[in-house]
A and B are shown apart, each in its own frame.
Chain A
Amino acid sequence: NAGVTQTPKFRVLKTGQSMTLLCAQDMNHEYMYWYRQDPGMGLRLIHYSVGEGTTAKGEVPDGYNVSRLKKQNFLLGLESAAPSQTSVYFCASRSGTGGGYGYTFGSGTRLTVV
């Protein structure tokens, strides 16, 4: 059981380039989330999805787009990368609503924009 898998694990981009980060979960979870982690800022929510075909903005959505065409996949896109998007990106999933359901996190993607 792989859980939440993120690809790639590392990437270096030049300013203005685009890329897509892939998150895949094999737990049939409805809810999926993208967070970024920066020193001194903690983890902040970028976008999230409450089901296949749905997405919503989180705390820091600017400069990112997302898609959830299949239930198991949640894609995070950077259309024109900026140095401010240098960060570690974490994907997470959750099976349902209510307080008994916790989050499962992927191992992260370390992105550097030069």
Chain B
Amino acid sequence: KQEVTQIPAALSVPEGENLVLNCSFTDSAIYNLQWFRQDPGKGLTSLLLIQSSQREQTSGRLNASLDKSSGRSTLYIAASQPGDSATYLCAVMNSGYSTLTFGKGTMLLVSP
């Protein structure tokens, strides 16, 4: 059974810092890995999708990497802003019927 772990569970940083969120998974037979953002009481917004054959994806200040063989992914946020405060979820898409297995998330607070 696929298991996804996110570290740290919570992170508080001052505005402007660069930061890294970590995600690890136990079964490397995945189609892709997605990073989502969730604001309190809201739904999930897809940030980045990395296919299993790719090493990284970038969108603006966000960069996500994938090392499938070691079962690890990182989400790098450059020059953090208070608007980045949210919970960040990592999810791997399992082979077969493409179901997602989620980590429990990292709650990020960026202070002005």
Flag if B97 contacts A48 (CB, 8 Å): yes
Asked if B44 is at the interface of the complex by the 8 Å CB criterion, the answer is: yes
Flag if B43 contacts A90 (CB, 8 Å): yes
Asked if B99 is at the interface of the complex by the 8 Å CB criterion, the answer is: yes
Q: How many A residues have CB within 8 A of the partner chain?
A: 29
CB contact between B51 and one of A41, A50, A97, A100 (< 8 Å): that residue: A100
Flag if A97 contacts B44 (CB, 8 Å): no
Flag if B53 contacts A99 (CB, 8 Å): yes
Interface of chain A residues 85 through 114 with chain B (CB within 8 A): 90, 92, 94, 97-108, 110
CB contact between A99 and one of B44, B52, B100, B105 (< 8 Å): that residue: B52
Chain B min CB distance to A53 (Å): 15
For the complex, what is the distance from the CA of A33 to the CA of B100, rounded to whole Å? 9
Flag if B34 contacts A103 (CB, 8 Å): yes
